[in-house]
Structure 1
Amino acid sequence: MADHEESKVESMMDKITEKLHGDSSSSSSSDSDDDKKSSPSTSPLKSKVYRLFGREKPLHKVLGGGKPADVFLWRNKKISAGALGVATAIWVLFELLEYHLLTLVCHALILALAVLFLWSNASTFINKSTPHIPEVHIPKEPVLEFASALRIEINQAFAVLREIAAGKDLKMFLSVIAGLWVLSLVGSYCNFLTLFYIAFVVLHTVPVMYEKYEDQVDAFAEKAMIEIKKQYAVFDAKVLSKIPRGPLKGKKNA
């Protein structure tokens, strides 16, 4: 009788332990499910972050990558500062001092040839080696690559101008007209060299500042684009929609 009682107690204890194990496993599985649900890996994708001009690549890639992008983004401060200094010196020489390109080239050649000529002849009297004058030649491959890249960009520009002239995109047409008008106003106040220098300085300052304050600029640009789209919609409803475009559809159907 005692053995029967003991076996009964043992069976009850086994059932209790099994139940406890089952509850703990179910709770752990439910916890793991909750963790999976709350984990960011399985959460839906976040809304796409707005980037200026709709770019998806990093700014370094947008600028073409390689050494030019490194110069514009000041990856090497010495090279970037040197390029900006040379551009500033050229602008001061030709614009402020009113130096001419042909005069500058001739004076530089006169000075270089005179120094090398005197050095080469004086080396025999002062027992020193003659100056090493390197052979300078323009390599073929970089010139062809530059010409090919320039040809592609010019063809793309012509294709865009053709689409605009065909009247397919009114928004693009208005944007290009406004840009050309602003450029004509700037050109009336400064010559080509000054305009080129301004563009060079802008390329050396604006990209690096934008990369530093990218998030703030993109947030402000998003708000500005929303407002511009609202104003364009109003302008389109009040003005552009009332402009006749070709023959009426009713006449075509008739």
Structure 2
Amino acid sequence: MAGPAEETAVAAVPATSPADGVSEETASPAAVAARPRGFRLLGEDKSVHKALGGGKTADVLLWKDKKISAAVIGGVTVLWVLFEVVDYHLLALISHVLIGALAILFLWSNATVFIKKSPPDVPEVQISEDLAVNIARALRADINKALRLLREIALGHDLMKFLGVIVALWILSEIGSLCDFLTLIYAGVLMLHTVPILYHKYQEKVDDFAGKAHAELCKQYQVLDAKVLSKIPRSPPKDKKQN
């Protein structure tokens, strides 16, 4: 039997549980699975990497490959400085780059005759038929999805989607009035390389705040629907013809 000193030492150690602030790394898998997860922006079982499509693109956006991510940010920044700060033009930039590349390769190829070295190995670049077909299929699927969404909104079947699209287009128009298209693309690239990694790092806090905001928006929408939206006459949805 344990002595009184040992019993006192055991009783002084508090029992820990996942609910007492223990991280998921130290808690048992069963305790983590039983913990209530609450609101999730990406869904219950969807990670940030999976939401970004997975693969190499997701690795670059989440800075898993720091060299490529930094190269993308650096390249886009250089292009933005050239076009916006230096006031360079796209056609002039492409022409000057091609002139410089062709001049270097031409001189290099002719200089190999005098220095008795092999000419530069310029790879033959071709777009495969499979790549072109896959790109066309992906664009076709996205365009058809957008057209179906616009048709559904235009028919007045989903008022929530209609309001969401109107607000999104209004925000886009306000942003467009403040900056040009190139600056908007540059800001979008910077956000793609910062927002996902920040959300991945502070996912619990962001989801908690988003859950509260979502609940408040749903409450306000219910009030708006009861007082205004429910009184607006709507056309009944048409039944689809059966083949």
TM range (shorter): 0.7 to 0.9
Name the Cα RMSD after superposition: 2.2
From 231, 238, 244, the counterpart of 2:220: 231
Q: Could you tell me how far apart the structure 2 residues matched to 1:158 and 1:246 are?
A: 20
- Structure 2 partner of 1:100: 89
Map 1:238-249 onto structure 2 (within 5 A).
Answer: 238-245=227-234
From 73, 92, 97, the counterpart of 2:62: 73
- Structure 1 partner of 2:154: 165
Alignment of 1:192 with 2:200, yes or no, is: no
**Larger Cα Rg: Structure 1 or Structure 2?**
1
Given that 2:156 and 2:234 are in contact with CA atoms closer than 8 Å, whether structure 1 keeps it comes out as: no
Map 1:1-254 onto structure 2 (within 5 A).
Answer: 47=36, 49-52=38-41, 54=43, 56-245=45-234
Given that 2:156 and 2:235 are in contact with CA atoms closer than 8 Å, whether structure 1 keeps it comes out as: no
Unaligned runs of 5+ in 1: 1-39, 248-254
- How far 1:198 sits from its partner (Å)? 1.2
1:52 is paired with a residue of what secondary structure?
A: coil
Amino acid of the residue matched to residue 120 of structure 1?
S
Q: Could you tell me how far apart the structure 2 residues matched to 1:233 and 1:212 are?
A: 33
Tell me the matched-pair count. Answer: 207
Please list the CA deviations of residues 19-55 of structure 1 after superposition, one character each: whole Å capped at 9, or x if unmatched. xxxxxxxxxxxxxxxxxxxxx97xx966553201546
Q: Aligned pair in 2 of structure 1 residues 55, 139: CA closer, same or farther (>3 Å)?
A: farther
Please list the CA deviations of residues 208-242 of structure 1 after superposition, one character each: whole Å capped at 9, or x if unmatched. 10011111100110011111111112222222233
- How far 1:246 sits from its partner (Å)? 5.3
Amino acid of the residue matched to residue 99 of structure 2?
I
Q: Could you tell me how far apart the structure 1 residues matched to 2:134 and 2:199 are?
A: 30
TM-score for both structures, normalised by structure 1: 0.75
Percent of residue pairs bearing the same amino acid type = 57
Q: Could you tell me how far apart the structure 2 residues matched to 1:210 and 1:144 are?
A: 34
Which structure's residues are more often helix, by fraction?
Answer: 1
Please list the CA deviations of residues 148-201 of structure 1 after superposition, one character each: whole Å capped at 9, or x if unmatched. 112111111111111111111111110110000000111112222111111111
- How far 1:126 sits from its partner (Å)? 2.6
Q: Could you tell me how far apart the structure 2 residues matched to 1:191 and 1:164 are?
A: 29
- How far 1:123 sits from its partner (Å)? 2.0
Q: Could you tell me how far apart the structure 1 residues matched to 2:211 and 2:38 are?
A: 10
Unaligned runs of 5+ in 2: 1-28, 237-243
> Which has the larger displacement, 89-98 or 133-142?
133-142
